[in-house]
Chain A
């Protein structure tokens, strides 16, 4: 990549959400904002290699994009454009999609709360967030979520039309609602991260583009909501998980479980950053802050894992305490399944299996349930049952690396039999 091309990519990452969010406030229309921002970046790709990268690329892009947006509104002059245009020429007078102030006045924060509004279906929230905040193209989002580009384009168009027609406000929720609404934002960011870390299909075990994007957006939300403990917890969880990604896939493309990972491949920098966030949260809770939510507890569990020099050094008792607290706030069968794995480490595979066997009904279609059961049966030398459980897990797993790992394990057990 040439220096200018690199600069454009860097500026796109750093400035896209800011440019789109500023335009969305000023023009009160997500379509206009998105198209104008895209046009401005297209002009940059054309001009910067010749004229050089401007001193303040963000301001340059905002100016060009605003001009493009005004041009477009002038072309559509059949409406009350003259009036709107007059208002929009002065940034301060902007009508926006809603003018009620929230506790924090940042355009990007308003935009992310709009894209993650609970009145939109979750797939639409994910797609809109990646498009409007992440600047991913519709084709990129479609390929990440394994849908046709036309389907994804339609999903985004419909969501934007609903925002407009139903008057979904472009604002930061009031303080009283912010916890509920930021939970919706975090759900979307975590979905994007998980899709990257354990791709549900396609040819890759890991989608680094998506995990990177989720981390970047979560850093942004953390910057905008620095006092939200769960946002800090979510960022820590992503960093501590992502820190292990180089050790997670073998040379042959097989997924490597935590216990078998080469810990020298873990990213010490990310672990340090994630652990420091976890310590910050522990201190805040100890100082009388609100008790930790799901993401903070999951981050703490991961901090215990990454602090251990080897599997045998893992402080399982500490992890069990954290899971006991997690079960109280999230009594889902998936959490119970993960807790059973910890119990198996402490009290033995039979104790773990007893809990797992009780979860068969709600988790019958969940590949990780069968994989966990298979592993416990293998440890108990119940080989035939283990092979049958591996077969079920292989059928249900969508991730290529995970299927490869499960097949090898099944063949090992079957070979021993």
Chain B
């Protein structure tokens, strides 16, 4: 079954309650996301999901040269950053988009849906 990455994007600067206006909102969003995750597991869509620590905790590494080059911060400087993600398995994009809409509502964030490369896509890329 096709796998999709559903990534949640939010502001780089988080407030006292993360990306949420109040403690109550934050708790409600966590609870709703928990319910959504349970549903994913129950219906067999769930592969993995988690939230990420703030973008300020990121370190970027380029190990292509003689010695690795470290850089404090994210790879791309932007106003919005990846805050968390799900990896799901769904029969087609319509199902994935429907789940993304539910996930977006639960976590109060914008969700990007992107398919993982399939073995056939990989072969095409290798020019076989």
Give residues in A with beta carbon < 8 Å to B: 78-79, 98, 100, 117, 119, 165-169, 173
Contact = CB atoms under 8 A, between A and B. Distances in A.
Interface string B27-58: 00000000000000000000000000000000
B115 A166 contact: yes
A166 B93 contact: yes
B94 interface: yes
Interface of B: 2, 91-94, 97, 113-115, 117-118, 120-121, 123, 128
Given A167-B91, A169-B94, 19 more contacts: A78-B123, A78-B128, A79-B123, A98-B91, A100-B91, A100-B92, A117-B93, A119-B97, A165-B115, A165-B118, A166-B113, A166-B115, A167-B92, A167-B93, A168-B92, A168-B93, A168-B94, A169-B91, A169-B93
Nearest to B2: A167
A167 B115 CA distance: 8
A117 B120 CA distance: 23
A159 to B, nearest CB: 13
B62 to A, nearest CB: 28
Contact of B93 (A78, A79, A100, A119): A119
A85 to B, nearest CB: 15
29 contacts: A78-B123, A79-B120, A79-B123, A98-B92, A100-B91, A100-B92, A117-B93, A119-B93, A119-B97, A165-B115, A165-B117, A165-B118, A165-B121, A166-B2, A166-B93, A166-B113, A166-B114, A166-B115, A167-B2, A167-B91, A167-B92, A167-B93, A167-B115, A168-B92, A168-B93, A168-B94, A169-B93, A169-B94, A173-B94
A119 to B, nearest CB: 6
Contacts of A165: 115, 117-118, 121
A169 B128 contact: no
Contacts of B2: 166-167
A70 B107 CA distance: 47
B2 to A, nearest CB: 5
A292 B43 CA distance: 39
Nearest to B117: A165
Contacts of A167: 2, 91-93, 115
B45 to A, nearest CB: 14
Contacts of B128: 78
Contacts of A78: 123, 128
A167, A168, A169, most chain B CB atoms within 10 A: A167
Nearest to A163: B93
Contact of A169 (B92, B114, B121, B123): B92
B39 to A, nearest CB: 19
Contacts of A117: 93
Nearest to B128: A78
Contacts of A79: 120, 123
A79 B118 CA distance: 13
B93, B114, B118, most chain A CB atoms within 10 A: B93
A116 to B, nearest CB: 13
A173 to B, nearest CB: 8
Nearest to B121: A165
A169 B98 CA distance: 13
Nearest to A80: B120
Nearest to B120: A79
Contacts of B97: 119
Nearest to A169: B92
A168 B117 CA distance: 14
A117 B113 CA distance: 15
